Amino acid sequence: MNSSSICTTAPSKKERAIVYHQPRFSVHRSENETRVQVELPGVAKDDLNVTVENNELLLEGKVSNQRPDSWKALHRESIEGTYRLRLRLGDQADQSAIRADMANGALALTIPKEEAAKPQKIEVK
């Protein structure tokens, strides 16, 4: 098993009691970093929380519902509530250097590998 792998962890009992939605996301790995793209339509930057603890990254984004009361719904396909995603980081991840960029309802997480885990070129003398 690749130690830099990323996978979701099951929600705890308490978490299951509240309705969360898992956002769509994709993972791209390269030699030096792992990038995760998460789709969070309707989530404003200020309503998004990303925390890292115990080798787990937790992401929570509330869908802001700023529609006026006068709007009457004729048909709905979008979700209401909170997006939540838990990612287990591999032990090669450099947790202090994780970067999160939110733009237009899409979050880009960049998780670099620790220096020691990056491929190193050894000079031949």
Partner 1 sequence: MKFLNHRYNNTNTDLWGEFEEFFNAPSNFFPTNNPLFRWDSNALRPAIDYYEDDSNFFVQAEVPGFQSKEIEVELEKNRLELKGARKQDGEKGASEITFHRSVSLPDFVKAEAISAKYENGVLTVTIPKADASKPRRIKVKS
Residue 55 or 101 having the CB closest to partner 1? 101
Strand order in the sheet with 33-39: 25-29, 33-39, 106-112, 99-103
Residues that bind partner 1 (CB under 8 A): 22, 24, 26, 28-30, 37, 39-44, 64, 67-68, 70-79, 103-106
| Separation of alpha carbons 66 and 37, rounded Å | 25
DSSP code of residue 93: B
Rounded to the nearest whole angstrom, what is the least distance from the CB of residue 25 to partner 1 in the complex?
Answer: 10
Rounded to the nearest whole angstrom, what is the least distance from the CB of residue 115 to partner 1 in the complex?
Answer: 23
